[in-house]
Amino acid sequence: MKIIAYAVRDDERPFFDTWMKENPDVEVKLVPELLTEDNVDLAKGFDGADVYQQKDYTAEVLNKLADEGVKNISLRNVGVDNLDVPTVKARGLNISNVPAYSPNAIAELSVTQLMQLLRQTPLFNKKLAKQDFRWAPDIAKELNTMTVGVVGTGRIGRAAIDIFKGFGAKVIGYDVYRNAELEKEGMYVDTLDELYAQADVITLHVPALKDNYHMLNADAFSKMKDGAYILNFARGTLIDSEDLIKALDSGKVAGAALDTYEYETKIFNKDLEGQTIDDKVFMNLFNRDNVLITPHTAFYTETAVHNMVHVSMNSNKQFIETGKADTQVKFD
């Protein structure tokens, strides 16, 4: 049994090493580069491929994998929006993901970043760097006085809800697919417009679907409370960044914490020190004191990376042995 893993980072290698020791019957090849048309031929002779990337898995790449006899593909992440689904179906590819590598990792960072915004930490850090120890005018807000609107109440959304409740915040939620326990608690509102109107903080935990594209746009911002806070630790395409800038300029939005950006693949996880970033929209957001940007690192904990490697590799092994996997993704 042979599995090839693409885009293996140095920090993932110890977890691959552990998995290989636990599965000595499986031959594993680790490739540091992303899966592309240029290196897909490395998969020839392997039974499965384990992959991770934000770039699209194009029809060309998937067809070449299938041509090499590799039809078992395990993603080391949740999202499947960058897969060419028609090709997946046409070639009969088995796809698995890691649906819950660590909901707490994402939820914890989203709340951490919000607390920095509420406590004016970026402004105080600037002042302290200049030995300015005055308090005013940067007075803080308390989370326990606020209403938090959680859009998407799946695993990550529910983990965030638990943390927000721990701070004493009132929490409301919206989801097309409601959680029975949360519904019993009366937490849901019926429409996004209701959530926008009531929430002081809006946090997004939904996938990137056509229906969700730029769900936070000028129209959505106009329905929010003045001085709302926006948290996006899900997908960059959920927010129209230019409309967010206008909302920040007008004061409609008081601050934002973003772990993802629509065009992040050109920027995130790259060392751009001393280089000019020519994305003016990104730089506008990046240079604001009331916008906190992290480079898609909300997931990046030891627990999460361990789970991403072990769950994906276990699923690939299941595909090879049985044709099915516990985390198989079905495309209807």
- Of the listed 76, 155, 158, 296, which one is catalytic? 296
**Token digits of residue 54:** 């934000």
Asked if 250 and 290 touch (Cβ cutoff 8 Å), the reply is no
Residue where the block lists tokens 């019926």: 190
Which residues face 173 on adjacent strands?
150, 188
Q: Single out the catalytic residue among 205, 262, 264, 310.
A: 264
Catalytic (active site) residue 235: yes
Contacts of 49 (CB under 8 A, 6+ apart): 3, 4, 5, 6, 35, 43, 65, 70, 72, 73, 74, 316
Nearest C-alpha neighbor of 160 from the set 196, 115, 125 = 115
How far is 329 from 332, CA to CA, in rounded Å? 10
Cα 102 from Cα 298, distance rounded (Å): 10
Kindly report the backbone phi and psi dihedral angles of residue 70, in degrees, each rounded to the nearest multiple of 5, phi listed first: -100, 110
Is 142 catalytic? The answer is: no
Strand partners, 196: none
- Catalytic residue list contains 27: no
Q: What is the rounded radius of gyration, in angstroms, for the C-alpha atoms of the chain?
A: 22
In 3D space, the residue among 103, 85, 46 whose CA is nearest the CA of residue 69 turns out to be: 46
Neighbours of 41 (CB within 10 A): 11
Are 18 and 10 a contacting pair, CB within 8 Å? Answer: no
Helix (H) or strand (E) holding 3: strand 2-5
Out of 76, 158, 205, 235, which one is annotated catalytic?
235
Distance from C-alpha of 228 to C-alpha of 224, rounded to nearest angstrom: 7
Active-site residue set: 235, 264, 296
